[in-house]
Structure 1
């Protein structure tokens, strides 16, 4: 009986030692929190990447704005760069608050970057809901911008990309988890918003479209807005319409897009895209009467259909599919031969865009 008690006591002591030895917790004052990460092309030709980490430096008091510190390192891998950066700081690097990842345009244009993207998804301490972007003229330049309205490092980007502050149809935010999904899933391709660094502010109004390897196409602001409409991620916007010498601006309150893929036997395959727009007249170069609204509705339907068709054809020629037409086709065709068939169908698809516009209010009292 005494031997059994001794055995239980020794086992309890052993388990306590294991628990104590496995504890790797460090106090908050011993951690250096990364808020955003930038990856550029290295200036040294023997290296591949220039990795920059933006650390938040807390202010001395609650009323003082927080500062930041950027530490950069060139290396042949992101892992190597991060470990060298650890030798330059006095605290443990913590990625749990890193919500923005920025790649330079020169990096994303280069082929064979899958390992770079996957590093961020493999790191267990990087949030999968972090926003991924393209930085111009460089990722480091974007990290260095400090708007005057910003009191917390990188908070301006958090508000813009999270749409908690400014709401605009020109921003197509992309999460890290969704980018990884688009990189590996057949039938849908990645896209990344482009952040251009100005003197004291950011400009986010364009988007870059990818194949499974690298950046293939950069859209204009108007085309970026159409991508948001096609993905049904934005309803409030402004659409310019011209009829004769009159120019009007529609304030859209509802924009819905639906599409269906048709592959009739003996005929050319096509995609029917139906767009529904509801809104009011926000601006007009001349007075528009209620009795004339139907004329502008018809003009808007024709012009919107042409604009959407132009963007769809442009993506088709670049061989990219950010909308996921191929994924829709795969959801209704389950054999590998059907996927090979889709790769032959997509370059020859015809887009038939139909738009229905309803102007509810001319904005003036007759």
Structure 2
């Protein structure tokens, strides 16, 4: 009797499976894969956004390069734009390969646009490890660039931002999940690399700094490199040092930074930043003997300390904190009043930078 009851239950389950719909699944040949996304402001400003999706179009054979197609749409929301773009393509739009998101400088400068970043994190089919960037002159212009070395759509950006290809201290890649974290976490502010579109190549050597809603400050090339050093994201670089009439270039092999916040009542609050560098002489305008290396080490220490202090004061005046000084303060002070106290401290806190440079090799044989 029990066997008969079990058989009936199994039959009911099998019959119920016949009524399940499988329309949610699409074969790969019925999908259109997005590799990069661009968000601009329309020129006529009739709508809030100009959303551009760059699709990968597979080549007819393994030996032929893949092509791409860009479809754009104006709308008052990103969701609306995507749904209208669906009416312009013949396949289901798939965002699972969208690894690069580009916002135009005009978009990120506008106040009240912070909510658009959350659209990307709310969509379950967009990877949270996608890179977010600022595009110049527009996001669409960045999507249109096709370097001659690129055989897969947007692969040049994937290699540059992922540092799987070119390695440089001027690139500050930022993931989508990190952008969202910095938007909501008190004590640390968002940061995005700036991609400049040229005729047939990209230039990525600057960075934009945000408060909790919009772009506040753009850093130049050397300042971008120092931000990478302060975040301990890069060690290999080149530092120019001038002593008298001699200019030398230090090829750094190791860079380490650390800091500590001092808020004792006896002294004015200050942040002590320690910078440690070691490397070799890569270039010099004059011959530098080994006996004089210590002189150039001291000259490098003075110049590095001065440049770092200048950058930190610049961030302070712009009221942005991409390093996370406020987050460090919060980790040691837990009351709400302490956070309000930090907001009063940061605009007036003093930075003291101590640099140590070691030149391991002059690059010549005496």
**Counterpart position of 2:218:** 218
Residues 215-294 of structure 1 mapped to structure 2, 5 A cutoff: 215-294=215-294
Q: Secondary structure at the residue paired with 1:146?
A: coil
Per the TM alignment, residue 14 of structure 1 is displaced from its structure 2 partner at its CA by: 4.2
Alpha carbons of structure 1 residues 220 and 5: separation in structure 2 relative to 1, 3 Å: closer
Distance across 1 between alignment mates of 2:6 and 2:329: 68
Q: Secondary structure at the residue paired with 2:44?
A: coil
**Counterpart position of 1:307:** 307
Q: Secondary structure at the residue paired with 2:341?
A: helix
Q: Deviations over 1:178-206 (max 9, x none)?
A: 00000000000000000000000000000
Per the TM alignment, residue 4 of structure 1 is displaced from its structure 2 partner at its CA by: 4.0
- Tell me the TM-score normalised to structure 2 length: 0.98
Residues 74-223 of structure 1 mapped to structure 2, 5 A cutoff: 74-223=74-223
Q: Deviations over 1:220-254 (max 9, x none)?
A: 00000000000000000000000000000000000
Per the TM alignment, residue 11 of structure 1 is displaced from its structure 2 partner at its CA by: 2.1
Q: Secondary structure at the residue paired with 1:53?
A: strand
Per the TM alignment, residue 22 of structure 1 is displaced from its structure 2 partner at its CA by: 4.8
Distance across 1 between alignment mates of 2:7 and 2:296: 92
Q: Secondary structure at the residue paired with 1:177?
A: helix
Q: Secondary structure at the residue paired with 1:103?
A: strand
**Counterpart position of 2:347:** 347
**Counterpart position of 2:365:** 365
Does residue 8 of structure 1 match 2:47?
A: no
RMSD: 1.3
- Tell me the TM-score normalised to structure 1 length: 0.98
Q: Secondary structure at the residue paired with 2:364?
A: coil
Aligned length: 365
Q: Deviations over 1:136-166 (max 9, x none)?
A: 0000000000000000000000000000000
Per the TM alignment, residue 77 of structure 1 is displaced from its structure 2 partner at its CA by: 0.1
Distance across 1 between alignment mates of 2:240 and 2:226: 13
Distance across 1 between alignment mates of 2:6 and 2:358: 84
Per the TM alignment, residue 3 of structure 1 is displaced from its structure 2 partner at its CA by: 8.3
Per the TM alignment, residue 113 of structure 1 is displaced from its structure 2 partner at its CA by: 1.1
Per the TM alignment, residue 348 of structure 1 is displaced from its structure 2 partner at its CA by: 0.6
Structure 1 unpaired stretches of 5+: none
Distance across 1 between alignment mates of 2:4 and 2:234: 73
Q: Secondary structure at the residue paired with 2:18?
A: helix
Alpha carbons of structure 1 residues 9 and 364: separation in structure 2 relative to 1, 3 Å: closer
